[in-house]
Structure 1
Amino acid sequence: MRNAAPKQAMEWLAAAAADPRACKREWEHGESGTVLLPAGRFWDVLVVPEDLGLLALDALLRLPRTEPGPTLADTASRRVGFFLPPDPVSRWVGTGIRYAGRGAWIAVPPPYRAAGALRWLVPPDGTGTLHTPTSVELALFQAAVAADCRR
Structure 2
Amino acid sequence: MTIPGDKTAVEWLVSVAPDPDACRREWERNPLGVALLPAGHRWDVLILPGELGHATLEVLDALPAPPGPVIADFGDSRLGFFVPPGTASRWVGTGVRGAGHGTWIVVPYPGRATGGVRWLVVPDGQGTLTDPAVLELAMHEAAARAVGREGGRP
Q: Name the structure 2 match of 1:60.
A: 60
Report the Cα distance in structure 1 between the residues aligned to 2:39 and 2:6, rounded to whole angstroms: 21
Against the structure 1 CA distance between its residues 104 and 4, is the aligned structure 2 distance closer, same or farther, given a 3 Å change threshold? same
Shift of 1:31: 2.8
In structure 1, distance between residues paired with 2:12 and 2:23: 11
CA distance in structure 2 between the aligned counterparts of 1:118 and 1:30, rounded to whole angstroms: 13
How far is the alpha carbon of 1:3 from its aligned partner?
7.7
In the alignment of these two chains, the number of paired residues is 149
Identity of aligned residues (%): 49
Distance between the aligned counterparts of 2:3 and 2:56, measured in 1? 30
| Residue identity in the other structure for 1:9 | A
**Residue 91 of structure 1, CA deviation:** 1.8
Instruction: Tell me, in whole angstroms, the C-alpha distance in 2 between the residues paired with 1:50 and 1:99.
Output: 15
| Most deviating of 21-30 and 36-45 | 21-30
Q: Does the CA-based 8 Å contact 1:43-1:84 persist in structure 2?
A: yes
Instruction: Compute the displacement of 1:29 (Å).
Output: 2.2
Equivalent residue number for residue 25 of structure 1 = 25
CA drift at 1:76? 3.6
- Offset at residue 42 of structure 1 (A): 0.6
Partner of 1:90: 90
Q: Which deviates more, 84-93 or 118-127?
A: 84-93
CA RMSD of aligned residues (A): 1.8
Extract unaligned runs of 5+ from structure 2: none
Output the amino acid matched with 2:46. L
Distance in 2 separating the partners of 1:22 and 1:113 = 18
Q: TM-score under structure 1 normalisation?
A: 0.91
For structure 1, list consecutive stretches of 5 or more residues without a partner in the other structure: none
Map of 1:50 onto structure 2: 50
Amino acid at match of 1:106: I
User: Deviation digits for residues 23-42 of structure 1, max 9, x if unmatched?
Assistant: 11111222331111111011
In the superposition, relative to structure 1, how do residues 49 and 5 fare at CA in structure 2: closer, same or farther (>3 Å)?
Answer: same
With over 3 angstroms needed to count, the CA separation of the structure-2 counterparts of 1:58 and 1:106, relative to structure 1, is same
Alignment match, 1:107? 106
